[in-house]
Every structure is written in structure tokens, then in C-alpha cells.
Structure 1
Amino acid sequence: MRLLPALALLTALTGCLFDKEPEVVRLSGETMGTTFNITAIGADLDEAALAAAVEETLAQVNAKMSNWDPNSEVSTFSASTSTDPVAVSEEFALVLAAANDVHGKTGGTFDVTLGPLIELWGFGPRKPEDPVPSDEEIETALSGVGQARLLTLDSAAGTLAKSDPAVGINLSAIAKGYGIDAVAGTLREAGIEDYLVEIGGDLVAKGQNDKGDAWQIGIEKPEAGSQTVQLIVPLNDRGMASSGDYKNFFEQDGVRYSHIIDPVTGRPITHRTTSVTVLAENAMMADAWATAMLALGQEKGLALAEEHKLAVYFISRDVTGGDDAYITVHSSAFKDALGTD
């Protein structure tokens, strides 16, 4: 799921707080199989130098985390058939450690070795119109899924090993968030304290916009083809990510199959939660938790959010109200983040 375009959703809350009109640099482009939009605000900004620094940062992230690049660090590891520990970059180890944390807390619902199931269910090289997988095919695919069982990360030694030569890693549910944080770090190194960084709908914001107001980000109502705002969220020094099941799915024989697959069952989710938004200390964790919470669904996800004090907002289909009726539920930490009663 994408948040509504961030640059179109900046809503004023207070009067201008700047003594003089700040400089605003807006950068956009393509990365990680999607698009990025950056707004940086400050004094004496060098747009060309800033653009070059951002492009270099994104290039470095892709060189390590991109599953689209066959020569990236993650692709090279996945293609290798060695089960010996191999040296990995500090950045790759950081992302894997975060993935392990979410994997453990969700009982395996978040999993970076999900690739065999993604391909089996037609969201990889297979076509959605291909036959629905059999129980036997699902069991076979599940044997190659389970990062706690199949991957061994030694952060102290900076090594990663796999127990099965065929195991691959897919970082699509966490690397985008890491890339956002990396770009934000580049902006801070340039002395910029007011910025908004968005990649593929996930984002991180800090400080204020060019009018001196709080950044305001819209959560999209879960309707395919619509860009209606469900809720406006104030964002400062936090990451924000949403995940939804209403744009990427296929139907066969009257059954709807979501692209969100539960690594525990090996099957697409069947609960009625259709959208989840997470606020976190950075975009990487928001990215991972949004995927995990959508896979868990509102009931299990909300209990876990309360246990770990996670700021999560759920939108679910109302079973009594038809296809276009929704109910919303949020965790205590999400309410606190909004500053509402």
C-alpha cells in the first residue's frame, strides 16, 4: 500500500515560525523499483551537491539491499550455494538484525526467506492465472522458508551463513525503509534539520515544512483506484509506513488471494484487515512492522502492538457493512503519537 503522495498532503497547523523565507529543495526520481520524493529545507542549500549526495546514498543502498540487482550483496548471497559463514557489510548486518528482531517478536510472521512462497503463489515469475498451489507444493515451499532456522547472523563477527544452499533473502519489506533512513542521514550530515523523505509511499519526517508548520501525512482509504484520505497524521522525527492488500491480489474461482502471505501457514492472509500503518523510531522498523502487522491482522496485531508499545493503525473490512465499509482500530501508542484523547 502507498501513502498518499506526501508532497500533496502537507497541511498547515500553525503560523510561520521562520524569520525569513527558507530555501526549499525538492528532489525526485526512481530507486528500488519505485519512486522517491525528498523535501529539504534550510539556508544556503546547494541543490546540485545535495542531489549528488542523495543519488550516491541510494546507489550504495541498492548495491547492498536490492533484489532487483543481480550483483547486489543480498543477491550474491542468495545465489551462492555455500553454507559457510561469509563476511557481510555493516549495513547488511544491521538490516538482518532488525529483521530477526521482528521475526522473533511475530513468531515468524515476518520472514525475509519468504521468496519460495511468493513465487509459488504467483507474485513472482509465475502468473496469477496459474493454478492455485496444492497442499504438497505449499509444504515443499515452506521447507525453504524460516529465517531463524535457515540463517545465522553473527553481528559481532560480521558474518552470515545459511544452512541450506538454496536459501535466498528478500529484503523488499524492510530495505526500502532502511534506504529512507540512509537518505535522512545524508541530509542531517549536510546540516539539514527540516526534511521529508519518501520512497514508495513510506517515509520519515523531521522538523517542519517550509511554512514552519508540522509535517502532515495522509493515510489512504483502502479503495483501489482512489486517493481519498482516511486520516491525517502529524509526523516529526519518526518513520511511517503502510501496507495494504487491496491493490496487489488475484482472484480465481471466486476466491480472492492477497499478495500478503503468512510464512507460518504458507498461504495468503484471509482475515479482513486490509490496511495497516505503523509509526516507529525510523522508517526501517516502520516498514518491517507494517508488513508484519498486515500479515497478523487486527486481532493478533493489536495485541502484539500493545505488548511492545507499537504505534499501529488498522483498517479492516466491516463484515456487516459490505465491501466498501470499514472499521478502524489503533493501538494506545498510536493514539499517544497523534496527541488525541
Structure 2
Amino acid sequence: MQYSFNLKKSRQTIKLALIAATLVILAGCFPSNDLGREEYLLQGRTMGTTYNIKVVGENIDTEKLQQGIDAKLVKLNQEMSTYIKDSELSIFNQSTSLEPVKVSEGLGRVINEAIRLGELSEGALDVTVGPLVNLWGFGPEYRPETVPSKELLAATKSRIGLDKLTFEHGMLSKNIPDLYVDLSTIAKGYGVDLVAEFVEANGINNYLVEIGGEMRIKGFKHTGELWHVAIEKPVNNERSVHQIIIPKDNAVATSGDYRIYFEADGQRFSHIIDPNTGKPINHKLVSVTVIHPSSMTADGLSTAMMVMGEDKAIAFAEAHDLAVYIIAKTEHGFVEQSTVKFMQYLK
């Protein structure tokens, strides 16, 4: 959920709104009716949030499975967390060298997709935007009492940009010494993909993986029903269901703009920063949900389209054949739009 929030502490973009109907009852193992299968729930903490994983099958060694999952997530954090000082990404950020460095396969996979989505969205998704997030008071540093001056905004904006980051042949480099990369708009989605791939590698093909609101789903519940997911109503004073969807064998990610903000001089400032202007977004779009085979891709796209705004987001989604559902706030209440590709998933 930020233009970018950190892997250890969810202080920025909230990836809101995904409430799995199957996670309402938190029990370890459920009876399987007459299908001969059981449903197991694994829970834990990672990236400053929680995970909930449901797997369906017979005689699953859940202890061994969870140990493997936790090991994968610990490794991910050590690669990509900006709160762990000796993580691979932190070491890159702290270095002032402009020389290319070899990065791990996992970090390279996420960096590569972040750059691809950044270019695809014409800069709406920018994983170098951290200095602006901090400037506006949504990072780990401090919250300003006044709106930043034009001069300070321009100086900070000069320190960001995907054009200053290069990834080629497994080598990562920057062309200014103080470039800062924060992958939290996409790394949590990658974590979901990583866990889902591990679950499948263990021969399990019916599951629901959820980390901090990001999800990836495959197959069926123990009852033989498809998994159902709820999109949250985009209001900051309650937690309630706005729309039920059936994603089938896909990932789901939702970005929202209604819980993290501050007010100054009578104006509301969103936590989501537009890298093109250097300022918080200022439009009526409050929620974007993306359904895609990859949670990492859905994660990044949902944030990018929140930056774009209502009209540009829908046009972008249709142009790229994406399954997208958006909610905008008007004087008369909420207005929803979905792409043609999304309609098949509406309940």
C-alpha cells in the first residue's frame, strides 16, 4: 500500500482492500466435506505486515511448508528491504559509486520489472521517488509542518528518475551518487509470487496466498468452490465490502488513496506522489484494483494507475488489455468503472 512504503514498516502506499472471504474464519484446518481434501491455514509476519496462506490437499506437511515459506521471505527482505541496513538494496543505496554491481537473481527480477513498468507507464511508477516521499512527510524521516518550497521541491526532484538507473546483464548501476531505490511498490507483490511458486513446487495446486493485502489464487477451496475476494469500500472510517470478485487463477492488487494523508493550510495532501510533478496526486480516483497472473506486476500497475488519475488509468488499461476496476469519488458518491477484461471476474 506510499508512493512507496517500506518492506519493514507500512508507512506509505497502502495496498488496501483485499479481504478474502475464506480468511474470515481463522482456524488451522477445516473439514473437507465429501471431497476428501482438507484446507490448511498458515500465518506469519513479513515486510512489516502479516501473511495468510491457505492450501488445499491431503496430508500436507504444513510445518515443513511454512519453514520453507519463511526462509524465502527472510531472503527476500535481506535482498530488498530499505530498513535493513546491510540488505543488498541498502548497500546499493548507501554506495556513491557509479560502477555497475552484480545483484542477486531475486533483486534483479524485481528491478527489471520495476523499470519495465516505469517505462510502460511513462514514469507514473518510479522506484527512485523515495526522496520526494520523504520530502512530503510520508517516509521514515519526518513530517514537515509546511508545504515544501518550489526551490526545495525542484532540488529534490532532480535526484529522482528511472533514467538515472540502469540494469543490464544482471548488473545494476546509477548515474548520480545519491540515487535512492525503494522497491516497496512492487516487492510485496513479488513476495506473493515467490510464495505461490514455492507452494506449487511442492505439488499444491489449490491455494490462496495473501501478504499485506496482495493476493495470488489458484484452483479451488476445499468445498470445490472458486475463491472469492472482496474489494474494500474506499472510506477511511470503516472497513466494509464494496465489491465481490472471483479472480480465478490470478493475482489481485488494490491501491488506495483514502487512509494516509495530511492536511495543511486547509488542503489535503495524499501520500501518493506523482513523480512527474513531484507533488501528491490531486484527482478524484480513490482506488484501483488490478487482476493479473503476476502479483508483482499487478502491485506495480495498481500504484501507477493511482498516479495517473481516472481517465488516464482507464485509457491505459484498455490500451494494454488489462483487467482493471477503478473507484472515483464524486459529489454524488462513488462511481465505478471497469475494463472489458475485468468484467468476467465480477460476481
Contact kept? 1:18, 1:212, Cα under 8 Å: no
> Aligned partners of 2:33, 2:294: CA distance in 1, in Å?
26
CA offset at residue 85 of structure 1? Answer: 0.5
> Aligned partners of 1:296, 1:81: CA distance in 2, in Å?
32
Match of 2:259 among 229, 243, 247: 247
Match of 2:43 among 9, 15, 28: 28
Q: In the superposition, relative to structure 1, how do residues 259 and 49 fare at CA in structure 2: closer, same or farther (>3 Å)?
A: same
Pick which of 120-129 and 259-268 moved more.
120-129
* TM-score of the aligned structures, taking structure 2 as reference length: 0.91
Cα deviation per residue 1:284-339 (whole Å; 9 max; x = unaligned)? 00100010011111111111101100111111111x32xxx11111112111444x
Match of 1:76 among 70, 88, 91: 91
Does structure 1 residue 122 correspond to structure 2 residue 134? no
> Aligned partners of 2:252, 2:17: CA distance in 1, in Å?
9
Letter in 1 for 2:148: P
Q: Which residue does the alignment assign to 1:104?
A: 119
SS of 1:210 mapped into structure 2:
coil
Does structure 1 residue 51 correspond to structure 2 residue 73? no
Q: Which residue does the alignment assign to 2:223?
A: 211
> Aligned partners of 2:99, 2:239: CA distance in 1, in Å?
48
Match of 2:232 among 220, 231, 253: 220
Q: Which residue does the alignment assign to 2:342?
A: 334
CA offset at residue 3 of structure 1? Answer: 2.1
* TM-score of the aligned structures, taking structure 1 as reference length: 0.92
CA offset at residue 126 of structure 1? Answer: 4.1
> Aligned partners of 2:42, 2:23: CA distance in 1, in Å?
17
Q: Which residue does the alignment assign to 1:151?
A: 165
Pick which of 19-28 and 221-230 moved more.
19-28
Contact kept? 1:10, 1:217, Cα under 8 Å: no
CA offset at residue 110 of structure 1? Answer: 0.3
Q: Which residue does the alignment assign to 2:16?
A: 2
> Aligned partners of 2:327, 2:142: CA distance in 1, in Å?
29
Q: Which residue does the alignment assign to 1:162?
A: 174
Contact kept? 1:9, 1:216, Cα under 8 Å: no
Q: In the superposition, relative to structure 1, how do residues 84 and 68 fare at CA in structure 2: closer, same or farther (>3 Å)?
A: same
Give structure 1 stretches of 5+ with no counterpart.
none
Give structure 2 stretches of 5+ with no counterpart.
1-14, 26-30
RMSD: 1.8
> Aligned partners of 1:328, 1:40: CA distance in 2, in Å?
33
CA offset at residue 158 of structure 1? Answer: 1.0
> Aligned partners of 2:58, 2:259: CA distance in 1, in Å?
40
SS of 2:63 mapped into structure 1:
helix
Letter in 1 for 2:182: N
Q: Which residue does the alignment assign to 1:175?
A: 187
Contact kept? 2:36, 2:58, Cα under 8 Å: no
Contact kept? 2:35, 2:224, Cα under 8 Å: no
CA offset at residue 105 of structure 1? Answer: 1.3
Letter in 2 for 1:291: T
Q: In the superposition, relative to structure 1, how do residues 253 and 8 fare at CA in structure 2: closer, same or farther (>3 Å)?
A: farther
Q: In the superposition, relative to structure 1, how do residues 96 and 233 fare at CA in structure 2: closer, same or farther (>3 Å)?
A: same
